[in-house]
Structure 1
Amino acid sequence: MGLHESFPAYGGRGPNDIRLGLALGAIATIFTALRVYVRIRMNKFGTASLIWALIAWLLTTITQIFAVISILHGLGNHISIVQKVGDLQDYLLFTWITVFFFNMAIPVGKVAVAVFLIELNSQSITSLIDPKIRRSLIVVAALNIILNIPQILMAWFQCSPPSALWDPLRQNQCDHTRSVYYTYFIGAVAAVSDLYLAIIPITMLVPLHMDRKLKWGLSFLMGCGIFAGAAAVVRTWAAKFIMGDDPSYGMGILFCWGEVEEWLVLITMSIPPVWPLFRPLTHQFIKYTSNRSQPQYKYDGYGQSNPTTRGHPSDGPIVTTTISISSHKGTAAGTDAMDDEASDSLSRYEAEPETSRIPLGHNGHPERWMEMSQFKEQKRT
């Protein structure tokens, strides 16, 4: 027996909304679980932001559960079909419960992002960040909480009495105008917040002296909150369907983009904390691409620099130091220039193991989410 037989009001946009929401929810849940694992097993930072993220995940999961129930009772389908099968009361009840949890999940998710960026700032790259940015993050978090309180309460006081909200026979006692207009305002705040929280991590990464591919890759991943901001804009626009002629179908559009916004916030905020799990793969990729793009030279301890060849080991147990230098075209003069450059590079080279760029704790694990402090560009003396 299919869902259509058990729930005759199920249909329209509803099936696609369920598939999209569950797919994004599964990805967000995996990232959240990895974040918990990293916090417990690999470092001791990020407790406050993790707690906020878990609260946001819980509220978003509850929202998704009630959204699925609402869709089974007609959310996303045409109102004429919902009325015909007699499911209008259940549709109204579960839809407004979904709205209630949705209005709580959205601001908590943005607070979680702001708290994470504050902790990242204080733990990793404080000297590179203007203290004004820290205060601005606190303001963004506070505004999202304070301004959403009326939105949470307003949903239950659109009708007189409140129970008329889910009573099909008393819908004429409800006025959704103020709620919809306030949704426009709070949606604009949410969109601007998402955009700001997506741009700030990029400004943190730009001044760092690190591999360019890694820098732009992290900037893209941490800036994916822009997509959540775009979803917030569409979701705000779709709020007008609450007062339309076919509200159940229009609400399917609103909830589709609402769940995209909610889950994308959780996914993008979890990428930096789980970075220690994927960092070894990134280092291998960078090392591989660097080795292919630049010739490797070895210093043999006697003032000679020779190209490294695979499958031809040196004739004696000579301790060598690998140095990457730029290639030069030309005749023998060009070769001498390379030798001089290699010798000069060696004189400035600090004998330091490669793994020292990754600070490790007493148990051999990274101490921070993204050890970006070691990428600070050192001043030349």
Structure 2
Amino acid sequence: MHPGYQLACAMWAMAVLSLALVALRLYTRVRIVKFIGAEDYMYACTGIFFLLFASFIQVSVHYGLGQNFWQLKIDDTADAIFWTYVANSFAITGNAMAKLSMGLFLLRVVQVRWHKIALWTAVIITTATSIALTIMLWNQTTPRKASWDPLRTPGTWNIRIQPLSVGLGVWSSACDFFFAIFPWLFIQSLPMSQREKVMLAGGMSLGVIAGACGITRTVVLSRLDVFNYTLNFVPYFAWAGAEIAVAMVCVGIPTLRPLYLKTREFANAYSNQTRSNASHLPRYTTYKRQSARPPRPLRDSGFSHARTDSNISRPPVAHPKARDDSLDEILSEYHNQHAGVIWVKNEVRIQEDVAEWPLRN
């Protein structure tokens, strides 16, 4: 399998992961939190842009991305480079939108003024540089077609896009590290347990992985030989896609906390119900031989003993208060209060006796 096919498979796998996170986040916000903010729309758009990025990478691979530039047909080289431009446009924009989603999410949480100023500064600079780089990508030469079809279209190069891309990569990585470290500044003020604070901040801090991917992408880009574009640019697109996918994971995981809590609550309720159903014991009525003397009344038993002809104690017809306790609690309570005695609940006839074996779950 040549590098182009490997790149396409990796991008599609990341696209599926990203869209799954988008679906889970939207479900959480719509059905559980019942609130959708600007950061959620931005996150959904990032997933769509990543899907388009993977699709156009697939088209470019079809025309020759991943193969030697000088062994392809001229038409194929032009088409392969053109569709990488389209894919790279969505990669640049999608990367910025992932950071915007994180920035808007943090802006909804923070309260300190300088925190908001720092976040807005990062958001505005990221947006401006991404838009500027996308515009310059399509205006490197005059005419424009000369940048993706250099063998048949003579032209003049106006912009050296590679150094600008390296600069944007450095800033992008710095933003990833900033968004990863920033939550630790205010997480202590949130009304939740220390364990949940560490989990939430730790999930946001996964952005350092996205920053590492951004650094790798920047280093790879700075060392590329553009004269064999279709072959040498495969690692760049791989790391560009990885940076976006990791950023989406880092942004998406903290917002899924309500879904996790609801799932855990449902699982606990189901587990308790299953355990309660499994712990229902058969009803036993214990008898003993008739004795000459009447049975001794129990102290603080809570039941009224009425003598009958059969010498069997009978509980009152109407109980003063119905209990909703679980079977485990009832058995534990009565075991502590009346050790050695078994009372059978909800039976018409009930008899006391010294238990020869403990009735436990």
TM-score, length basis structure 1: 0.65
- Provide the residue aligned with 1:48 in structure 2: 38
Does residue 251 of structure 2 align to residue 269 of structure 1?
Answer: yes
Shift of 1:263: 1.4
In 1, Cα distance between equivalents of 2:200 and 2:119: 20
After TM superposition, list the pairs within 5 Å mapping 1:262-341 onto structure 2: 262-280=244-262, 313-315=332-334
Distance in 1 (alpha carbons) for counterparts of 2:35 and 2:336? 44
- Superposed displacement of residue 284, structure 1: 9.9
Query: Quick one: distance in 1 between partners of 2:58 and 2:239?
Result: 14
Letter in 2 for 1:12: H
| Residue of 67, 70, 73 corresponding to 2:63 | 73
In the other structure, the counterpart of 1:88 is: 77
Superposed counterparts of 1:89-128, under 5 Å: 89-121=78-110, 126=111
Q: Is structure 2 residue 4 aligned with structure 1 residue 22? A: no
2:4–2:65: 8 Å Cα contact kept in structure 1? yes
Distance 1:314 1:146, change over 3 A: same
Structure 1 contact 180–242 (Cα < 8 Å) conserved? no
Partner of 1:164: 146
What's 1:350 paired with? none
How far 1:86 sits from its partner (Å)?
5.8
When normalised by structure 2's length, the TM-score is: 0.69
The answer to whether the Cα contact below 8 Å between 2:15 and 2:47 also exists between their aligned partners in 1 is: no
Q: CA deviation at 1:178?
A: 1.7
Separation in 2 of the partners of 1:131 and 1:263?
31
Q: Which residue identity is paired with 2:17? A: I
Equivalence for 1:365: none
Q: Does 1:187 align with 2:169?
A: yes
Change (3 A) 1:35 1:45: same
CA distance in 1, matches of 2:29, 2:175: 26
The partner residue of 2:203 within 221, 229, 232 is 221
Change (3 A) 1:88 1:36: same
Q: Does 1:34 align with 2:20?
A: no
Partners of 1:24 and 1:176 in 2: CA distance: 35
Shift of 1:244: 3.5
2:155 matched residue in structure 1? 173
Quote the Cα distance in structure 1 between the aligned partners of 2:226 and 2:330: 74
Distance 1:19 1:175, change over 3 A: same
Aligned equivalents of 2:267, 2:28: Cα separation in 1: 22
Rounded to whole Å, the distance in 2 between the matches of 1:137 and 1:244 is 36
Query: Match for residue 307 of structure 2?
Result: none
Q: Verify the 8 A CA contact 2:145 2:153 in the aligned structure 1.
A: no
1:73-126 alpha-carbon deviations (Å, 9 max, x no partner)? 22233323434x9621211211111122222222122111100111133xxxx4
Measured after TM superposition, the shift of residue 138 of structure 1 is 0.8
Within the candidate set 193, 212, 222, 1:240 is matched to: 222
* Separation in 2, partners of 1:255, 1:97: 12
Quote the sequence identity (%): 21
AA in 1 matched with 2:230 = S
Give the number of the structure whose alpha-carbon radius of gyration is greater. Answer: 2
Alpha-carbon displacement from aligned partner over 1:152-209 (angstroms, at most 9, x marks no partner): 1111111221122232424663548621111111111111011101111233334557
Aligned length: 279
The amino acid that maps onto 1:135 is: I
Change (3 A) 1:242 1:171: farther
Distance 1:138 1:197 in 2: 12
The CA distance in 2 between the partners of 1:317 and 1:284, in whole Å, is: 32
After superposition, the Cα gap between the structure-2 partners of 1:210 and 1:51, relative to the gap in structure 1 and judged at 3 Å, is: closer
Query: What displacement does 1:34 show?
Result: 1.2
Provide structure 2 residue ranges, at least 5 long, that are not aligned to the other structure.
269-327, 338-361
Q: Which shifted more, 61-70 or 254-263?
A: 61-70
Q: State the match for 1:137 in structure 2.
A: 119
